[in-house]
Amino acid sequence: MTLIVEKFGGTSVGSVERINAVADHLIEKHQAGEQLVVVVSAMSGETNRLIKLAHEICAKPPAREMDVLVSTGEQVTIALLAMALQQRGTQARSYTGGQVSIKTDRVHSKARILGIDSAKILEDLALGRIVVVAGFQGIDDGGNITTLGRGGSDTTAVAVAAAINAAECRIYTDVDGIYTTDPRVVPEARRLKSITAEEMLELASLGAKVLQTRSVEFANKYRVPLRVLSSFEKGEGTLITYDDETNSMEAPLISGIAFQRDEAKLTIRGIPDHPGVAHTVLGPISESHINVDVILQNASEKGFTDLTFTVPRGDYEASLEILQRLVGELNAQDVKGDDKIAKISVVGVGMRSHSGVANTMFKTLADNDINIQMISTSEIKISVIIDESKLETAVQALHAAFGLDKESG
Ligand code: ADP
Ligand code: ASP
Ligand code: MG
């Protein structure tokens, strides 16, 4: 028997029909000899609906109760799927994250999985049952329900696969694999047969939500065989490969383009420049669990400097408040902000051995009259911050400029 973890995202379990279709699919695999653990998301739209409900009750819902609330979406799906399987004469059991001991830290809404006790799952599998596990949720050491951040069911699936040493983890979604960029924005985007974990990690952390970043980190750490496929049509999907399996000489220059819409930019201007300025400004931001992304400090002029950085748009107001408090403390001039910016990144391990990518990127944006506000680079990616209204045009232009619509090699 082969041990497999399959994960179905929101759209794939978005209706009774879809849940029935998933049950049929699972039974086919089960009968073909696979031992199955199935991780499911909430039905599409459900997590957003629950978040909205909470905000109708209070502007800042308490984090603990928020996790109790949003984790219910997945509990509905596991029960319905287990029923659909039993209805078809197949033994199945549903479990919440806590019931199969998906232990996390205590950071509500962004919890990290610390460990999984796989005993119960393995026991059920040995009895011939299909095990259905709620994605996105875990439990902390105080017995509180936690959630893993948006898209977290991917991480549950990969973590379970690592814990039970599954032969493969299959992520079923509403596209048939990983593309050169989001196919909803660039219709010419091309499905990749495979992608290195390193590149997928960059793409995910830079906004390609097809896999949650943390799931790729887990997969990479434990070398979990991972594939992204469509739950609507048959196909090979896209395989994630690991360093030791890839010949980097053959790597394409650019593998993909990722983008992030929900970004915001803040600048604190005219700060008296002395050692410790960045720490004084960014320290309180990070203490509020806000992730700072691109950071730019201007060369100081007459002893004063400006510090600009980006944060997720949802953290804009809180960041603005913190900076406004700091203006007086630091004797700075003022604070400026813009919450209508976006980030575009081109990613490729081939960049390591080739130059000129930045040039092509900057020229393409200039030719399309798109102003670059900030730039950040690493060995295998170049990111730029631009006005949000130019995002689609920029992604489409860059996709064409790097020839991503054409089969490489
Ligand atoms: P699920 O609900 O199954 O978890 P998600 O909506 O989280 O699905 O992720 C799938 C979506 O990711 C696709 O519908 C697509 O719009 C988007 N996406 C963004 N970048 C990419 C990419 N490079 N390749 C494929 N899909 C992408
Ligand atoms: N339901 C959660 C979300 O919408 C988790 C997931 O779907 O992966 O983010
Ligand atoms: Mg997802």
In a shared domain, residues 142 and 267 = no
In a shared domain, residues 276 and 157 = no
What distance in angstroms lies between residue 208's CA and the mean position of ligand 3's atoms?
10
Say what the pLDDT of residue 409 is. 40
Q: Is a pLDDT exceeding 90 seen at residue 228? A: yes
Burial of 225 (0-12, 13-18, 19+ CB in 10 A): middle
Say what the pLDDT of residue 353 is. 84
**149 in any annotated domain:** yes
Pocket test for ligand 1, best of 74, 158, 172, 209 (most atoms within 8 A of CB): 209
**268 in any annotated domain:** yes
What distance in angstroms lies between residue 42's CA and the mean position of ligand 2's atoms?
6
What distance in angstroms lies between residue 210's CA and the mean position of ligand 1's atoms?
3
In a shared domain, residues 126 and 12 = yes
Paired residues of 6 in beta bridges: 38, 170
Q: Of 141, 174, 207, which residue sits at a domain end?
A: 174
Region of poorest pLDDT, from 147-151, 275-279, 398-402: 275-279
**96 in any annotated domain:** yes
Taking the CA of residue 256 as reference, the ligand 1 atom at the shortest distance is 23
In a shared domain, residues 168 and 266 = no
Taking the CA of residue 257 as reference, the ligand 1 atom at the shortest distance is 23
Provide mean pLDDT across the span 354-376: 95
Q: Of 174, 190, 220, which residue sits at a domain end?
A: 174
Report how far residue 242's alpha carbon sits from residue 404's, in angstroms, rounded to the nearest whole number. Answer: 22
Q: Is 207 in the pocket of ligand 2 (CB under 6 A)?
A: no
The CB-based long-range contact list for 84-90 (8 Å cut-off, 24+ gap) reads 84/19, 84/20, 84/22, 84/23, 85/23, 85/26, 85/27, 85/130, 85/132, 87/23, 88/23, 88/24, 88/27, 90/23, 90/26, 90/27, 90/30, 90/130
Say how many domains are in the chain.
2
Q: Residue 74: in which H helix or E strand, if any? A: helix 72-87
In a shared domain, residues 281 and 158 = no
Q: Is a pLDDT exceeding 70 seen at residue 331? A: yes
Provide mean pLDDT across the span 301-307: 92
Instruction: Output 289 or 306, whichever has higher pLDDT.
Output: 306
Paired residues of 384 in beta bridges: 344, 375
Provide mean pLDDT across the span 40-47: 98
Provide mean pLDDT across the span 257-277: 94
What distance in angstroms lies between residue 382's CA and the mean position of ligand 1's atoms?
21
Say what the pLDDT of residue 384 is. 97
Nearest ligand for residue 258 CA: 1
In a shared domain, residues 158 and 267 = no
Q: Of 120, 139, 174, which residue sits at a domain end?
A: 174
Read off the tokens for 128. 């011939």
Report how far residue 30's alpha carbon sits from residue 49's, in angstroms, rounded to the nearest whole number. Answer: 33
Say what the pLDDT of residue 71 is. 98
Residue 36 in contact with residue 30, Cβ under 8 Å?
yes
**377 in any annotated domain:** yes
**217 in any annotated domain:** no
What is the reported pTM? 0.93
Instruction: Residue 296: give its domain's CATH number.
Output: 3.30.2130.10
Q: Is a pLDDT exceeding 50 seen at residue 310? A: yes
| Structural domain that includes position 55 | 2-174
How far CA 341 is from CA of 74, 128, 224, 344, 369, in Å, comes to: 32, 51, 35, 10, 16
- Using a pLDDT cut of 90, give the percent of the chain over it: 90
Report how far residue 103's alpha carbon sits from residue 341's, in angstroms, rounded to the nearest whole number. Answer: 36
In a shared domain, residues 169 and 290 = no
Q: Rg of the Cα trace of the chain? A: 23
In a shared domain, residues 270 and 128 = no
Q: Is 151 in the pocket of ligand 2 (CB under 6 A)?
A: yes
Q: Is a pLDDT exceeding 90 seen at residue 243? A: no
Provide mean pLDDT across the span 291-300: 90
Say what the pLDDT of residue 249 is. 58
Amino acid, single-letter form, for residue 56 = E
- Using a pLDDT cut of 70, give the percent of the chain over it: 98
Taking the CA of residue 48 as reference, the ligand 2 atom at the shortest distance is 4
Q: Kindly report the protein residue whose alpha carbon is nearest to atom 9 of ligand 2.
A: 150
Instruction: Residue 133: give its domain's CATH number.
Output: 3.40.1160.10
Average pLDDT, rounded, for the chain: 95
In a shared domain, residues 161 and 297 = no
Q: Is a pLDDT exceeding 90 seen at residue 327? A: yes
What distance in angstroms lies between residue 60's CA and the mean position of ligand 3's atoms?
25
In a shared domain, residues 10 and 154 = yes
Pocket test for ligand 2, best of 150, 210, 216 (most atoms within 8 A of CB): 150
**202 in any annotated domain:** no
Q: Is 47 in the pocket of ligand 2 (CB under 6 A)?
A: yes
Q: Is a pLDDT exceeding 90 seen at residue 274? A: no
In a shared domain, residues 163 and 291 = no
**339 in any annotated domain:** yes
Q: Is 156 in the pocket of ligand 2 (CB under 6 A)?
A: no
**24 in any annotated domain:** yes
Q: What is the pLDDT of residues 119-141, one digit of tens each?
A: 999 999 999 999 999 999 999 99
- Sequence-ordered list of residues with C-beta below 8 angstroms from that of 123, at least 6 positions apart, any chain: none
Q: Is 14 in the pocket of ligand 2 (CB under 6 A)?
A: no
Report how far residue 131's alpha carbon sits from residue 40's, in angstroms, rounded to the nearest whole number. Answer: 11
Q: Is 135 in the pocket of ligand 1 (CB under 6 A)?
A: no
Pocket test for ligand 2, best of 47, 50, 69, 75 (most atoms within 8 A of CB): 47
Q: Is a pLDDT exceeding 80 seen at residue 252? A: no
* Neighbouring C-beta atoms of residue 187, cutoff 10 Å: 8
In a shared domain, residues 169 and 269 = no
Q: Is 11 in the pocket of ligand 1 (CB under 6 A)?
A: yes
